[in-house]
Structure 1
Amino acid sequence: MRFFMARRFALKNLRANRLLEIPFVLSSGIMGMLFFIMASLLENHYVETRHRDLPLFIQVGTILLCIFTFIFVQYAVNFMLKKRNKEFALYGILGLEKKHIRKIIAIEFFCLFAFILVLSIVGGYLFGQMVFLMLNFIMKDVAGSLMDFPFSFSALFYTTVLLFVLYLFTLLRSSFRISFSTPMALLQKGHEGEGEPKSRVILSFIGFLFLGIGYGIALLIQGLLSSFTYFFLAVLAVILATYLLYISFSVLLLKMEKRRPSYYKPEKFLSISGLLYRIKGNAVSLASISILSTGVILSLATTICMYANIQNKGNSLFSREYSMELSPFSYPKKEGEDLKRSLNQMVLESVNEPSEVEGLYTMVTLATAGYVEEGQIIPVQGQENMANAKDPNMIILYDLAGYNARFQKHISLGENEILLCNNRNTPKEPSSLKIGDWVFQVSEIQNILPVDMVALGSYGIVVRDLATMQYIEKYLQPKEHRSESTAIEFSTHWNLKGISGEAYQPNYSALKKQLKAFSEKSFKGNARYSVENKDEYLQSQYEVNGGFLFLGVLIGIIFLTGTVLISYYKQISEGYEDREKMQIMKKLGLSDRLIQKTGFSQILWLFFGPLAVATLHCLVASKIVFRLLGLFGVGSLTLYAGCLSAVLLVFALVYLVIFRLTKKAYTRIVE
């Protein structure tokens, strides 16, 4: 066959199979657009120079895009080839050789991938400008403009290479399929899934076993370390259970319905019988839609929740606009009060007038670990068996003078008195707390712990003086177990009055150098030190969490594209199958109204079943996901519940739009 004749065959096939090929081009084009955008951002000079952490998120996103683009493209190709089995078989019966069919297929896919490439490049550049501006917006970077997002020729090259590799793989796969199939085998493949599915009790049992493991981990596992360790095991168990139960348990339920007397009513008879045959061919697709939908909802809900919590986290960590920390690795020779005065004096010398500083105070803190139970604190060391049972508690010690200065209070404590709070909202604290050989009388105070401690059950203890803090430190951290990460910290906090942040910037930079010189002189370099301000911290958090949000939205779009693609092809597949079945039912004398009603009810069950399963997965996963969000300082259950509810609602609306669009394609085929 000459190229001219093969081209005519290919163009005719493209027009005839547009219902299959248009969504393939659109979905693959969306993935190509996303890849072009990510490749452009990866090579973007503005992103590289202005954002420290964002390139890492873009690299991760690019890798994810390559993986999922390959999966979705091959899924769509497999579906298209399966639906054209009769066509390829007819070519063979009419005398076309397999090499001629391969040539026609090669031209068809070349045209399709050429369309995808054009859509990826043009759409990627135009849509990429909006993505670039959106990215700067969520990172609170107002300096970026469209001039900073030029056309990237390297992104053009990478996108072309990706699609060319996909084209070659698709061509090899289709050629292999055609070369090793006879016309009769191709005809038989077109009728796969026609027999009634078998009941698989063992598979159902295994599916419920894995579902119980996944749900049990999500609901019953306690402690942050255990949650983090078993989270991915729970994810894998639920994914496997979803596939197994769709394949087996859905069939068992339908067959149980067949045994009920009400089964023999016309509408129920036709609906259940039709669902049985549909399940066999669509169980894997339905399970995939459920899993992808769960991924969309959880990725968006968690990243939005982290982003919305940034301001609250900043307010918790910064009691004033500026802070300065100094942590000697060993207790300084200077007395603590002298060190406090030295740090305060540095701050006052960093401004022209002392009146320009307000709210100045220095607090001494110590972060350590222990087990708080039955009115006492037990050191972590030597409690290996207990450590296996649950996570230790974080213990944050504060000095009374710093606490009073921070909150403008005038509390006094006796030698054996402490103030106590925790971040788990325990209804009532113990009236006394034993620490070592000392028994302290406890007075409750409002929680003052920073939100980044919310992942672990943490306690804040305000002690009378530095000597008491040193005693507790020696008891909870024996000398052989002490580390630099748990040194006593002197932190100074202050606000500015009558001076802007821009005007203070040179003095702020000089203060950093002064603290460094003081640390090296006083402690010979054996100390940690830092000077921070709230605006810098928030900017860094907006960049990191903005990167997470960007990655979450990207994953959401990827999964949503896969959901739409699988849903559309599922509807198309059912449309072609139902067209023949409806003609048979009409010949048997069934009314059009009854046929349409039963067909529509089956579609509703199959389409909205995955949404219900995804919602159940998300609700069960909420407990362990919320606990893991504590690692990022998210401690408000109300915030997480609000984000999850909003994402669920929006996704349900989008899912409904997908249903209406795919239903139109289904109706056109059937009618």
Structure 2
Amino acid sequence: MYAGINDTVNSYAPRDLTIITSQKITPQQESTINSAAKKHHAHLNKPVTFTTSAPQYGYWENNRFINQGDLQDMTNQTTNTVITMSTATYNRIADKHVKLAANKALIYSPAKEHRGTLQIGLQKYQATPIHDFSYYFNPSHAIYSPIFIITNKLPANTATINFTGINYRLNGGKKAHLNFENDLQAQLHLPNQAYSSRANLRSQLTSLYGGIVFLGILISFALGITTTVVIYFKQITEGYEDQYRFKTMQQVGLSEKETTKSIHSQVLMVFMLPVVGAIINLCFAIPAIRQILIQFNFYNVRLMAIIAVSITLVLLCLYFAIYGLTTRMYRKIVAQG
């Protein structure tokens, strides 16, 4: 989650300042934004504005999206929100030149790819997935991953939302950015659902995820130390018990090399069983972990795999260091016999 903070921030606020409202921002609001920027010495870039359909909550049944309505209508079956955008809007904000027939659509779904014949409401589309969309956003900050459908035009009689995104430059540290963003929200009188700012989101998520990661590291460290210490002392205890047996075996012709090989084999088996079990458990847990991370708007499977493999390798290195120490101590104890 901590490594995926950027993904979450981007989905909540694709631009430094993101305003989602049912109506376009008024001239008075534009004046307020400019005044606040001037007060805090912030230089605003040209705003990006566009209109999409309001998010519709529902779930997929085969290739058909079952529309449950608005946020208050969701149930335990709800998995996604669908947002429709016209090709004219998509071409303008993404600098593309896409033309679609009435039954064709582009679909951006980072959590799970959809393609082929899809039914959204009463309309069927031949959908082609796209893999990059810089204006992907989660307007309601819900745990349900948004899916963007780009069609020839917006469906008739559908509710719409208006997106206003503004990037800005401000000389100063984190505190200066937070002061500007919080002051602007207060002056615009917008709730958190309608107003998102990147510096504010990053600060909140860093605090939240940092605490969760710290607890995870602490618990993992405690469990890891407990496991290795138990195995270490178990093997040391067995070393004292095996002194006489190894002495007898050496008296009947067991060489030093064969003794060392036998010790390594015995200790390695005891150490490897928990490692193999942990790796198998991780493989089975990855799909569940991914579903949990999706609820936090983290869809980067490649990054998740890299982190999982990296942590596994680090733990294996530490584990085998303990294994080496245990083997040396075991050999010393046996040799004393």
Question: Is 2:103–2:125's contact at 8 Å kept on the other side of the alignment?
Answer: yes
User: Structure 2 residue aligned with 1:370, among 38, 58, 79?
Assistant: 58
Corresponding residue number in structure 2 for 1:549: 213
Corresponding residue number in structure 1 for 2:80: 393
User: Structure 1 residue aligned with 2:5, among 310, 320, 324?
Assistant: 310
Question: Is 2:264–2:327's contact at 8 Å kept on the other side of the alignment?
Answer: no
Letter in 2 for 1:309: G
Corresponding residue number in structure 2 for 1:575: 239
Higher relative contact order (CA 8 A, sep 6+): 2
Letter in 2 for 1:323: T
Corresponding residue number in structure 2 for 1:627: 291
User: Structure 1 residue aligned with 2:185, among 508, 512, 520?
Assistant: 512
Corresponding residue number in structure 2 for 1:323: 18
Question: Is 1:340–1:490's contact at 8 Å kept on the other side of the alignment?
Answer: no
Provide closer, same or farther for how the CA distance between residues 341 and 356 of structure 1 changes in structure 2, counting only shifts above 3 A: same
Q: Matches of 1:349 and 1:413 in 2, distance apart?
A: 42
- Return the TM-score normalized by structure 1: 0.41
Question: Is 1:322–1:533's contact at 8 Å kept on the other side of the alignment?
Answer: yes
- Return the TM-score normalized by structure 2: 0.75
Corresponding residue number in structure 2 for 1:428: 115
What is the correspondence of 1:32-111 to structure 2 with a 5 Å cutoff? none
Q: CA deviation at 1:655?
A: 1.2
Q: Matches of 1:405 and 1:551 in 2, distance apart?
A: 45
Corresponding residue number in structure 1 for 2:72: none
Q: Does 1:361 align with 2:56?
A: no
Q: CA deviation at 1:441?
A: 7.5
Provide closer, same or farther for how the CA distance between residues 581 and 376 of structure 1 changes in structure 2, counting only shifts above 3 A: closer
Q: CA deviation at 1:658?
A: 0.3
Corresponding residue number in structure 1 for 2:300: 636
Q: CA deviation at 1:358?
A: 1.7
Q: CA deviation at 1:408?
A: 4.8
Q: Which runs of 5+ in 2 are unaligned?
A: 70-74
Match of 1:492, SS state, is strand
Identity of paired residues, percent?
23
Provide closer, same or farther for how the CA distance between residues 320 and 633 of structure 1 changes in structure 2, counting only shifts above 3 A: same
What is the correspondence of 1:519-534 to structure 2 with a 5 Å cutoff? 530-534=194-198
Q: Matches of 1:457 and 1:512 in 2, distance apart?
A: 26
Q: CA deviation at 1:569?
A: 0.9
Q: CA deviation at 1:552?
A: 2.0
Question: Is 1:310–1:541's contact at 8 Å kept on the other side of the alignment?
Answer: yes
Q: Matches of 1:393 and 1:546 in 2, distance apart?
A: 27
Question: Is 2:20–2:162's contact at 8 Å kept on the other side of the alignment?
Answer: yes
Q: Matches of 1:459 and 1:639 in 2, distance apart?
A: 21
Q: CA deviation at 1:619?
A: 2.3
Match of 2:108, SS state, is strand
Determine which structure has the larger strand proportion and give its number. Answer: 2
Q: CA deviation at 1:325?
A: 3.6
Question: Is 1:323–1:494's contact at 8 Å kept on the other side of the alignment?
Answer: yes
What is the correspondence of 1:202-241 to structure 2 with a 5 Å cutoff? none
Match of 1:312, SS state, is helix
Letter in 2 for 1:591: L
Corresponding residue number in structure 2 for 1:298: none
Partner deviation per Cα, 1:407-439 (whole Å, 9 max, x = no partner): 356778898886533225637343x74524x56
Corresponding residue number in structure 2 for 1:282: none
What is the correspondence of 1:591-602 to structure 2 with a 5 Å cutoff? 591-593=254-256, 594-602=258-266
Q: Matches of 2:47 and 2:112 in 1, distance apart?
A: 30
Partner deviation per Cα, 1:597-637 (whole Å, 9 max, x = no partner): 43432222222232222222222322222232222232122
Q: CA deviation at 1:360?
A: 0.5
Letter in 2 for 1:378: I
Q: Matches of 2:43 and 2:227 in 1, distance apart?
A: 58
Match of 1:621, SS state, is helix
Q: CA deviation at 1:342?
A: 5.6
Question: Is 1:420–1:460's contact at 8 Å kept on the other side of the alignment?
Answer: yes
Determine which structure has the larger helix proportion and give its number. Answer: 1
Corresponding residue number in structure 2 for 1:565: 229
Q: CA deviation at 1:450?
A: 4.2
Q: Matches of 1:458 and 1:571 in 2, distance apart?
A: 53
Q: Matches of 1:505 and 1:585 in 2, distance apart?
A: 73
User: Structure 1 residue aligned with 2:164, among 479, 484, 492?
Assistant: 492
Match of 1:635, SS state, is coil
Aligned residues: CA RMSD? 4.0
Corresponding residue number in structure 2 for 1:469: 158
What is the correspondence of 1:137-216 to structure 2 with a 5 Å cutoff? none
Partner deviation per Cα, 1:131-153 (whole Å, 9 max, x = no partner): xxxxxxxxxxxxxxxxxxxxxxx
Partner deviation per Cα, 1:111-134 (whole Å, 9 max, x = no partner): xxxxxxxxxxxxxxxxxxxxxxxx
Q: CA deviation at 1:647?
A: 1.5
Question: Is 1:422–1:459's contact at 8 Å kept on the other side of the alignment?
Answer: yes
Aligned pairs, number: 320
Q: CA deviation at 1:454?
A: 11
Corresponding residue number in structure 2 for 1:661: 325
Q: Matches of 2:36 and 2:88 in 1, distance apart?
A: 23
Q: Matches of 2:243 and 2:106 in 1, distance apart?
A: 75
Corresponding residue number in structure 2 for 1:21: none
Q: CA deviation at 1:560?
A: 2.1
Question: Is 1:350–1:508's contact at 8 Å kept on the other side of the alignment?
Answer: no
Question: Is 1:455–1:629's contact at 8 Å kept on the other side of the alignment?
Answer: no
Provide closer, same or farther for how the CA distance between residues 504 and 467 of structure 1 changes in structure 2, counting only shifts above 3 A: farther
Letter in 2 for 1:377: F
User: Structure 1 residue aligned with 2:67, among 379, 389, 392?
Assistant: 379
